[in-house]
Chains A and B, each alone.
Chain A
Amino acid sequence: SQQGEEDPQALSIQEGENATMNCSYKTSINNLQWYRQNSGRGLVHLILIRSNEREKHSGRLRVTLDTSKKSSSLLITASRAADTASYFCATDAGPLGNQGGKLIFGQGTELSVKP
């Protein structure tokens, strides 16, 4: 069963605008990760936020985590056409020290950035 549910399923914006994607999950987690997938390629890791963190930044990416609401958001600022891709959240819910980092992926948000 899917752990993460993402919202929206698809998002279309203009270059320069910000894009926000949301992820909700059901169980307690150790960390939550965001991945990006370009058409016809494998997933690429973007950023990881641990359960005891509330916000994290990496370049134009900002991730927030609210464990009380079991939700996370990914913000891409000043979007570019090259940001067009699918974005997935993935939860690591295994017991600490066990499970080897098994991830459960959401269904993804398809982002289209128009030049």
Chain B
Amino acid sequence: DAGVIQSPRHEVTEMGQEVTLRCKPISGHNSLFWYRQTMMRGLELLIYFNNNVPIDDSGMPEDRFSAKMPNASFSTLKIQPSEPRDSAVYFCASSFWGTGQPQHFGDGTRLSIL
């Protein structure tokens, strides 16, 4: 079975550029989560979707961040314009909706903003 697939695995770009991270969840899962991981702040939940609808975006740091889920098999996280403090590893995870469901993580996108 294919797991959660994220692309790209690594992204290096200059400050001010638009960055788009992509995620393909596990087929059949109806919840999708975007996280950011840094040494200073650990693993932070940015936003999550159920059945393609955003449920909670309270973790999105500011308006420069946006996320979409146009269909059940694809989601994007966009940063525009990017800043050096956005450098982190961004993870996507998917699961079945409901409490007690384990989340399945992709291997992340390591983002460096110069």
Write the residues of chain A forming the contact surface with B, with a CB cutoff of 8 angstroms: 2, 30-31, 33, 40-45, 48, 50, 88, 92, 94, 96-97, 99-108
Instruction: Name the residue of chain B whose CB is nearest to the CB of A45.
Output: B102
A96 to B103, CA, bound (A): 17
Known: A41-B107, A42-B4, A101-B31. A108 touches B42 (CB 8 A): yes
Range for the number of chain B residues in contact with chain A: 20 to 34
Enumerate 21 A-B pairs (CB-CB under 8 Å) in ascending A order.
A30-B99, A31-B99, A33-B102, A41-B107, A42-B106, A42-B108, A43-B105, A45-B103, A50-B100, A92-B99, A97-B98, A97-B99, A100-B48, A101-B95, A101-B100, A102-B56, A103-B103, A104-B45, A105-B43, A106-B42, A108-B42
A40 to B100, CA, bound (A): 26
The answer to whether B55 has its CB under 8 Å from any CB of chain A is yes
Instruction: Name the residue of chain B whose CB is nearest to the CB of A94.
Output: B99
Q: Is the CB of B48 within 8 A of A102?
A: yes
Q: Is the CB of A99 within 8 A of B42?
A: no
The answer to whether B101 has its CB under 8 Å from any CB of chain A is yes
The answer to whether B74 has its CB under 8 Å from any CB of chain A is no
Which one of A33, A48, A102 has the greatest number of beta carbons of chain B within 10 Å? A102
Minimum CB–CB distance for B103 against chain A, Å:
6
Please name all residues of chain B whose beta carbon is closer than 8 Å to the beta carbon of A92 when the two chains form the complex: 99-100
